[in-house]
Amino acid sequence: MKITQSLHRSVQIDPNRLMTVDGDRRITAKESFERVSKLAGALIAYGLSVDDRVAILAQNSDRYHEVLLAVPWAAGVVVPLNSRWSPDEVAFALEDSGATVLFVDQAFVDVGLGMKRRLPQIRTLIYMGGDRCPSGAEDYEALISAAEVAGDAGRGGDDLYGIFFTGGTTGFPKGVMLSHDNLMVSTLSIISTGHFLTPRGRILHAAPMFHLADIGQWIGGNLLESTHYFMDAFSGAGVARSISENNVTDVLLVPTMMQMVLEAAAANSIDLSPVSHVVYGASPITDTLLQSARAQFSEAEFTQAYGMSELAPVATILLPEDHSDSELRRSGGRAAPLTEIRIVDGEDNELPRRTIGEIVARGGNVMLGYWNRPEETAQALRNGWMHTGDSGFMDESGYVFIVDRMKDMIITGGENVYSVEVENVIASHPSVAMCAVIGLPDPVWGERVHVVVQPRPGTTVSLEELVAICREKISGYKSPRSLSLVDSMPLSPAGKILKRELRAQAGTSSMANAT
Amino acid sequence: MKITQSLHRSVQIDPNRLMTVDGDRRITAKESFERVSKLAGALIAYGLSVDDRVAILAQNSDRYHEVLLAVPWAAGVVVPLNSRWSPDEVAFALEDSGATVLFVDQAFVDVGLGMKRRLPQIRTLIYMGGDRCPSGAEDYEALISAAEVAGDAGRGGDDLYGIFFTGGTTGFPKGVMLSHDNLMVSTLSIISTGHFLTPRGRILHAAPMFHLADIGQWIGGNLLESTHYFMDAFSGAGVARSISENNVTDVLLVPTMMQMVLEAAAANSIDLSPVSHVVYGASPITDTLLQSARAQFSEAEFTQAYGMSELAPVATILLPEDHSDSELRRSGGRAAPLTEIRIVDGEDNELPRRTIGEIVARGGNVMLGYWNRPEETAQALRNGWMHTGDSGFMDESGYVFIVDRMKDMIITGGENVYSVEVENVIASHPSVAMCAVIGLPDPVWGERVHVVVQPRPGTTVSLEELVAICREKISGYKSPRSLSLVDSMPLSPAGKILKRELRAQAGTSSMANAT
């Protein structure tokens, strides 16, 4: 299978169908085909060879869509960069992947020019901004106008499609190598449930396109002949307005984003009823949020997908019908139809149901490996299974309850503490708006349970109060031993709390120690 | 991807779900898993090694389902044999594939015993009949009872799943090698349209299970958690009754079969409304048949799939919404989402729309090759495309109109005659119930256009009458020059007229020559 195939098919069956709409730019399948063919031609003219890496650092746009197709068309490998990264992180990913071409838009042109000066490996910097192209960069539209048409290189199957850096909540970024088949299998797996996308619908790319969740929806949309709409930067009001103005049928959001869209729609009386499929991930949906979402996305069904970059990205799926059960809503759903999921102990033995262990996965969606990291690849893929590093358990009906990111597990006085369990208790305190439990180094306990709390406006909370409610509900060793209060939490683009940053801050912030 | 995976998943998420229902035998996912594991264990105990071929010659049953899973589970290769074959044809396929194990049921036990005597390569004959096992064969249930459980060998991806002999309408049978991925891609391609099967529905296997159309539906049903029901031998009344009694939601039929089901249901006032998806193939549906079908399958949508064994088997799909257009109804639909389709000339150059040429296909569903036939494989797959041997044209919207099987094209006096064009004219004669146009050797014309007609009961028809109506509508050289009248047409299990047999009969039958 190959990612570019749906573009060929689109031109064959409906060349005048709208493929992308970005502001005033409306591009048909035929035009998209021509632009992609010429952009690929330009890349080849600039010396791109088979398997050369092409990075992109940009907000969502129709041009992002074109780059995602033109790079494999020219036999290259896409490297989408995280738009929240610092210049040092961008430089790291560029150096690590060895990219020779970098696409940037208006928002990242300065970073791009800096990278070109800093890294001689960047031979070509392409400016997608549309306004006057700065010196040192090539203009995207000028390149397309001048280029010769290239034929599709026909990359597919096990060929490398892209390198996706895992940033997120833990560890140093690693480049995840995904093949065409990896991405197609993940997408077909969720499509086969019948609850992913509306055939010939209108998708709003609200989540960032460098994120695999969005790329999965983009591939699915290409297969099902969708029209793509784009949000350059996320805002709740922007998403709500686009849904209403463009009759958007499909949208992927994390719960944090969903909350913001609902609030903006309510404040501005915007109708969200065009949407028929809302897919969300990163964390379960709360009862309160689901209730508002059902009221406002009145015609939509809700599907949750749990996964990770290494799984391209879908591992488990919580179907719309599962949402009627408040217990199941706290799970990540069941194994996607094309993926095997097990819960195992440290020796990869399958554990009985309802016993917490590591979640492992097997199937055609499992990554080729980590770029240039054979040892970490071998470790992650040992015994033929992808070790997610997440802990969880499975119930009698195969629903997977994600207990914690494995690396967020705290070992205190020899006991394992799963931070989510403590967080659930602390979140019930009326003054807590958001909280995160982390392990901090401790001379006595090895690690101690530390909690970071963002209080609700105008309130505060003490460690004693939190310990008191914990003592009612969980074992004593799980109670927090120290507390930091913050005005806001550091969040990943996907809306996850960045515990790595909390750990870094913890050393310098004021702290109330109970021990 | 692997064909056995859905059985693992079924046991994980819903072990007590009914997987197969065959008469009084109701088998859950958990029981199916146990029986398949033990049947695989028995095959291994009898000496089956990696890639060994295991043939099956049987009517549809729950045990057929088990064999289709147990063989790859034991690392073997399935060889489903055509139940309409003569013993010589069965022997040919067994010898050609080198099968060492043969499964037979009650209907084929004598053929099976004969094969075991005739071919020393058949080391194990397994009797699936359920009643007293004849001497010389092993009893299926006894084997399962006594066997050790085997773990799944984990065959998948490009591993060979089965060898499927192309019988059908042309040429000498060749073994088509299909991998796990070939079959999965074909199935996922039609699933992704959203119009193939009802999730968690009830499938009636009315078409023979050795046929790839049915195997595709079986794989799809396993993915979508369907329950399988079986017709051991096809009858219109039997299918209609099973639909009504079992609330069947999904059924695959060829138009000939559909006609018989509708007639039987009407005659016996049987309600066909439980069905939500009717998939048909082999030939387009006529307006008259569609009208009756819509009235009686009152809640169903109709989807046509065109394909061939070499494409595992789906190439193009005519969606339910396409059926409202009487012009499009005569097409085979558009390229399946995961398959590329082109119409090419003799040098594989793509032809303009509406120009007749050969239909070629490319994609993950294209066979690995013909078993032990490297030259025919190279010829069929030249330039990276599967050459279907069928001729057709594509309209501006990518709909493929199949004009004829390439090998059925008649060349008479240097002119090409596509038999379907002549058949369409002759079928309009009020006395013609069924007709087939073939080329017969002719000293003057090279080949001459010959027509075989099955007249409606109590009527007859002359060559002069047929020539007269042809002259009104098509070029003179396309008119039939000779005629045979028959009481019934030889039909393939898929309901296609066997032109090969008509050609063989033509030499001996009475004939009225116009020249």
CA distance A126 to A112: 9
Predicted confidence at residue A505, as pLDDT, reads 81
**What sections of B395-462 are H helices per DSSP?**
419-426
Closest Cα of chain B to A164: distance in Å? 23
- Using CA coordinates, name the residue in chain B closest to A366: B1
- The answer on pLDDT for A58 being more than 80 is yes
Q: In this predicted model, what pLDDT tens digit does every residue of A79-134 receive, in sequence order? A: 999 887 778 889 999 999 999 999 999 999 999 999 999 999 999 999 999 899 99
> A245 in a domain, yes or no?
no
- The answer on pLDDT for A294 being more than 70 is yes
Q: Is A14 in Cβ contact with B337 (below 8 Å)?
A: no
Q: Is B157 in Cβ contact with A364 (below 8 Å)?
A: yes
Mean pLDDT of B245-259: 91
Where among A107, A131, A156 does a domain terminate? A156
CA distance A109 to A130: 11
Residue of B5, B157, B338 with shortest CB distance to A1 = B338
> A466 in a domain, yes or no?
yes
Who has greater pLDDT, A457 or A398?
Answer: A398
> B252 in a domain, yes or no?
no
- The answer on pLDDT for B485 being more than 70 is yes
Closest to A43 measured CA to CA, from A77, A66, A68, A74? A74
At residue B510 the predicted structure's pLDDT band, cuts being 50, 70 and 90, is very low
Q: Is A398 in Cβ contact with B9 (below 8 Å)?
A: yes
Closest to B370 measured CA to CA, from B171, B207, B217? B171
Residue of A157, A185, A398 with shortest CB distance to B13 = A398
- The answer on pLDDT for A341 being more than 60 is yes
> What is the extent of the structural domain holding B50?
1-156
At residue A323 the predicted structure's pLDDT band, cuts being 50, 70 and 90, is very high
The answer to whether residue A337 neighbours chain B at the CB level (below 8 Å) is yes
The answer to whether residue A364 neighbours chain B at the CB level (below 8 Å) is yes
Closest to B209 measured CA to CA, from B20, B377, B346? B20
Q: What is the CATH number of the domain that holds B452?
A: 3.30.300.30
Q: In this predicted model, what pLDDT tens digit does every residue of B320-355 receive, in sequence order? A: 999 999 899 989 999 999 999 999 998 999 999 999
Residue A199's contacts (CB-CB under 8 Å, 6 or more residues apart) are A224, A225, B193, B194
Q: Which site among B338, B343, B359 would you substitute to test the A interface, given the most A Cβ atoms closer than 10 Å to its Cβ? A: B338
> B500 in a domain, yes or no?
yes
The answer to whether residue A335 neighbours chain B at the CB level (below 8 Å) is yes
Predicted confidence at residue A442, as pLDDT, reads 80
Predicted confidence at residue A307, as pLDDT, reads 92
Name the burial class of residue A140, with classes exposed (0-12), middle (13-18) and buried (19+) by CB atoms within 10 angstroms of its CB.
buried
Mean pLDDT of B420-442: 87
Residue A94's contacts (CB-CB under 8 Å, 6 or more residues apart) are A55, A79, A81, A102, A115, A119, A121, A122
Q: In this predicted model, what pLDDT tens digit does every residue of A485-496 receive, in sequence order? A: 999 988 877 677
CA atoms within 13 A on the CB side of B512: 15
Q: What is the CATH number of the domain that holds B19?
A: 3.40.50.12780
The answer to whether residue A340 neighbours chain B at the CB level (below 8 Å) is yes
Predicted confidence at residue B202, as pLDDT, reads 98
**Spatial contact of B433 and B455, defined as CB atoms under 8 Å apart:** yes
Q: Is B397 in Cβ contact with A341 (below 8 Å)?
A: no
Inter-chain CB pairs, A–B, below 8 Å = 78
Closest to B415 measured CA to CA, from B389, B442, B388, B390? B442
Set of chain A residues whose Cβ sits within 8 Å of the Cβ of B181: 364
Mean pLDDT of A271-292: 87
> B217 in a domain, yes or no?
no
Predicted confidence at residue A504, as pLDDT, reads 81
Predicted confidence at residue B501, as pLDDT, reads 85
Q: Is B199 in Cβ contact with A199 (below 8 Å)?
A: no
Where among B123, B140, B156 does a domain terminate? B156
Closest Cα of chain B to A337: distance in Å? 6
At residue A416 the predicted structure's pLDDT band, cuts being 50, 70 and 90, is low
Set of chain A residues whose Cβ sits within 8 Å of the Cβ of B341: 12
Mean pLDDT of A188-202: 96
Mean pLDDT of B240-254: 96
Closest Cα of chain B to A9: distance in Å? 7
Residue of B6, B188, B337 with shortest CB distance to A9 = B337
Predicted confidence at residue B288, as pLDDT, reads 80
Q: Is B363 in Cβ contact with A1 (below 8 Å)?
A: yes
The answer to whether residue A354 neighbours chain B at the CB level (below 8 Å) is no
Set of chain B residues whose Cβ sits within 8 Å of the Cβ of A6: 337
- How many domains does chain B divide into? 2
Residue of A181, A224, A363 with shortest CB distance to B192 = A224
> A474 in a domain, yes or no?
yes
Q: In this predicted model, what pLDDT tens digit does every residue of B266-281 receive, in sequence order? A: 999 999 999 999 999 8
Where among A122, A156, A190 does a domain terminate? A156
Predicted confidence at residue B301, as pLDDT, reads 97
CA distance A242 to A227: 13
- Using CA coordinates, name the residue in chain A closest to B158: A157
- The answer on pLDDT for A329 being more than 50 is yes
3-state class of B18 per DSSP? strand
Predicted confidence at residue A285, as pLDDT, reads 77
Q: Which site among A7, A8, A13, A394 would you substitute to test the B interface, given the most B Cβ atoms closer than 10 Å to its Cβ? A: A13
Mean pLDDT of A189-195: 95
| Torsion angle of the four alpha carbons B39, B43, B46, B50, in this order, in degrees rounded to the nearest 10 | -160
- Using CA coordinates, name the residue in chain A closest to B362: A1
Residue of A8, A13, A340 with shortest CB distance to B5 = A340
Predicted confidence at residue A283, as pLDDT, reads 67
Predicted confidence at residue A396, as pLDDT, reads 96
Mean pLDDT of A328-351: 94
The answer to whether residue B14 neighbours chain A at the CB level (below 8 Å) is yes
The answer to whether residue A454 neighbours chain B at the CB level (below 8 Å) is no
Mean pLDDT of all residues belonging to chain B: 91
Q: In this predicted model, what pLDDT tens digit does every residue of A213-237 receive, in sequence order? A: 999 999 999 999 999 999 998 899 9
Write the DSSP symbol of residue A491: B
Predicted confidence at residue B507, as pLDDT, reads 59
The answer to whether residue B454 neighbours chain A at the CB level (below 8 Å) is no
Residue of A185, A194, A224 with shortest CB distance to B199 = A194
Who has greater pLDDT, A257 or A464?
Answer: A464
Predicted confidence at residue A423, as pLDDT, reads 87
**Spatial contact of A299 and A175, defined as CB atoms under 8 Å apart:** no
Who has greater pLDDT, B87 or B459?
Answer: B459
At residue B171 the predicted structure's pLDDT band, cuts being 50, 70 and 90, is very low
Q: Is A1 in Cβ contact with B364 (below 8 Å)?
A: yes
Q: Is B338 in Cβ contact with A5 (below 8 Å)?
A: yes
The answer to whether residue B193 neighbours chain A at the CB level (below 8 Å) is yes
> B37 in a domain, yes or no?
yes
- The answer on pLDDT for A406 being more than 70 is no
CA distance B387 to A50: 29
Name the burial class of residue B324, with classes exposed (0-12), middle (13-18) and buried (19+) by CB atoms within 10 angstroms of its CB.
exposed
The answer to whether residue B344 neighbours chain A at the CB level (below 8 Å) is no
Who has greater pLDDT, A478 or A158?
Answer: A158
Tell me, yes or no, if the pTM score tops 0.90. Answer: no
The answer to whether residue A455 neighbours chain B at the CB level (below 8 Å) is no
Q: Is B223 in Cβ contact with A398 (below 8 Å)?
A: no
Predicted confidence at residue B417, as pLDDT, reads 76
At residue B407 the predicted structure's pLDDT band, cuts being 50, 70 and 90, is low
- The answer on pLDDT for A170 being more than 70 is no
Reported ipTM: the value is 0.83
Residue of B9, B334, B398 with shortest CB distance to A337 = B9
> B415 in a domain, yes or no?
yes
Q: Is B14 in Cβ contact with A398 (below 8 Å)?
A: yes
3-state class of A79 per DSSP? strand
Who has greater pLDDT, A428 or A161?
Answer: A161
Residue A512's contacts (CB-CB under 8 Å, 6 or more residues apart) are A462, A463, A482, A483
Closest Cα of chain B to A133: distance in Å? 38
Q: In this predicted model, what pLDDT tens digit does every residue of B36-72 receive, in sequence order? A: 999 999 999 999 999 999 999 999 999 999 999 999 9
Mean pLDDT of B296-300: 97
Closest Cα of chain B to A351: distance in Å? 13
Mean pLDDT of A19-38: 98
Residue of B13, B194, B341 with shortest CB distance to A194 = B194
- The answer on pLDDT for B169 being more than 50 is no
Set of chain A residues whose Cβ sits within 8 Å of the Cβ of B192: 188, 191-192, 223-224
- The answer on pLDDT for A172 being more than 90 is no
- Using CA coordinates, name the residue in chain B closest to A336: B9
The answer to whether residue A168 neighbours chain B at the CB level (below 8 Å) is no
Predicted confidence at residue A232, as pLDDT, reads 92
**Spatial contact of A254 and A46, defined as CB atoms under 8 Å apart:** no
Closest Cα of chain A to B188: distance in Å? 7
Q: Is A12 in Cβ contact with B364 (below 8 Å)?
A: no
Among residues 397-436 of chain B, which lie with CB inside 8 Å of chain A? 397-398
Q: What is the CATH number of the domain that holds A122?
A: 3.40.50.980
The answer to whether residue B337 neighbours chain A at the CB level (below 8 Å) is yes
